[in-house]
Structure 1
Amino acid sequence: MLSLSFLGALLQVVLIDITLAGDNAVVVGLAVRRLEGKQRRIAVFVGVAAAALIRLGLALVATQLLGIIGLRLAGGLLLLWVCWKMYRELRTPDTHAEDGGTAPGGLWPAIGRIIVADLSMSLDNVLAVAGAAGEHMEVLVAGLAISILLMAFAATIIARLLDRYRWIAWIGLLVVFGVAIELIFNGGSEVLSHVG
């Protein structure tokens, strides 16, 4: 039988996931935008599945992660590197190779960018979900599953939009850059407060 605390925690987790999944979906959409049909589906599936495993691992040690000084700063710097790679890709023309539409960089680099960006951006999401879930481990797992599904669904839509409207990719890159700067600022402040 479902208790009120369980349902309340689940509702909180779903709301957090809906709020925070957007940034991750933008990253996935940007990473796969130049891939064609089957490769795009593979990249989204593998990247999002890897993200699910990363998030589950992070969630299991969420409370210990709070104690690691500089983790947000490191995540922000890693995400800044992803932004640089995406910026360089956006500056090159949209040309597809002869081998069935493989994008410059290809399938595996796109999957790699998804994983690195998700690792950088997931910490806040995982900590918020873990805090809302409380002692309900099943709510934590359900919340992570919901966030992964939302990210995959939204990323597919975003990638299609990026195909048609290139300027949206630049806005997406600015969103991801903003998240990186926020992580660097918050993480840097945290490090400075412990140093000083």
Structure 2
Amino acid sequence: MDLHYIWSFLMIVIIDIVLGGDNAIVIALACRKLPYKQRNIAIIFGSITAIVLRIILTIGAIFVLKVPFLHLIGGILLLYIACKLIIQEDDNPSIKENYTVFHAIRTIVFADLVMGIDNVLAIAGASNGKPSLVILGLSISIPIIIWGSKIVLWFLERYPILSFVGASVLSITASKMLIDEPFISQYINGRNDMELIVGSSCIIFTIVIGYYFNNIRYRKRTS
């Protein structure tokens, strides 16, 4: 194993850790609605499934790059996910029971696929066309993401208001995806003020939507 291979491998691991913070937040937000005993199952299986799918996408990154409006669609979907994750569940037990491990895993995997575009492109570039590097590097990141999500979940349980902070982080990621869309970037043209406006708008949109629907559910419970 040459030094270049080792260096590329380390680069993939670092890239995935740096860009994987959002994944830990999504996992924690999706799993906080589950009973305590089911959370570990959802975290582990959701993380592994998401990483496996990301490996497949990274290896086929050359095809992903050809999809038109990929970043635009991904940004919109991620905003939807961010809003959905901070809207509180109804206190009705029958409704709570409908949220299962499968639902949590589905949310984790879907969000990871949407957010994983940047990871896919960065890791594909660092791998130098070697699928073995992609598989090895992303596989090692699994325990890091799992433990990271557990730490975030620990804070969310004690400080529920942090769910809005987590959603804001996802909104910033969504804004970056929107800005990276060639159709939009040609108008922004690297202007920091425009990037700030787009990012702020995404955060405000997510928080307002989350607050609005949470307020409606609160009124229903108290009426």
Q: Give the TM bin, normalised by the shorter chain.
A: 0.7 to 0.9
The one-character-per-residue Cα deviations of 1:6-42 (angstroms, maximum 9, x if unpaired) are 0110121121112111111111111111222321011
Counterpart residue number, 1:44: 43
Q: Secondary structure at the match of 2:68?
A: coil
Q: Give the match for residue 128 of structure 1.
A: 122
- Greater Cα shift, 34-43 or 122-131: 34-43
* Counterparts in 2 of 1:119 and 1:40: CA distance versus 1, 3 Å: same
The worse-fitting range, judged by mean Cα deviation, of 113-122 and 41-50 is: 41-50
Do 2:31 and 2:42's aligned partners in 1 also have CA atoms closer than 8 Å? yes
Name the TM-score, length of structure 1 as normaliser.
0.85
1:155 matched residue in structure 2: 149
Inter-partner Cα distance in structure 1 for 2:154 and 2:185: 43
Deviations 1:117-136 (A, max 9, x none): 10100111121111111133
Letter in 1 for 2:144: L
Q: CA RMSD in A?
A: 2.3
Contact preservation (8 Å) 1:21, 1:150: no
The structure whose RCO (Cα within 8 Å, separation 6+) is larger is 1
- Structure 2 unmatched runs, 5+: 187-223
Unaligned runs of at least 5 residues, structure 1: none
1:166 corresponds to? 160
Are residues 64 and 169 of structure 1, via their aligned partners in 2, closer, same or farther at CA, if it must alter by over 3 Å? same
Which residue number corresponds to residue 178 of structure 1? 172
Counterpart CA distance in 1 for 2:61 and 2:101 is: 31
Matches within 5 A, 1:1-196: 2-89=1-88, 92=89, 97=93, 105-187=99-181, 190-191=182-183
Cα deviation digits, residues 67-113 of structure 1 (max 9, x gap): 22211111111111111211322xx57x5949xxx667333322221
SS of residue matched to 2:110: helix
Identity of aligned residues (%): 34
Aligned length: 186
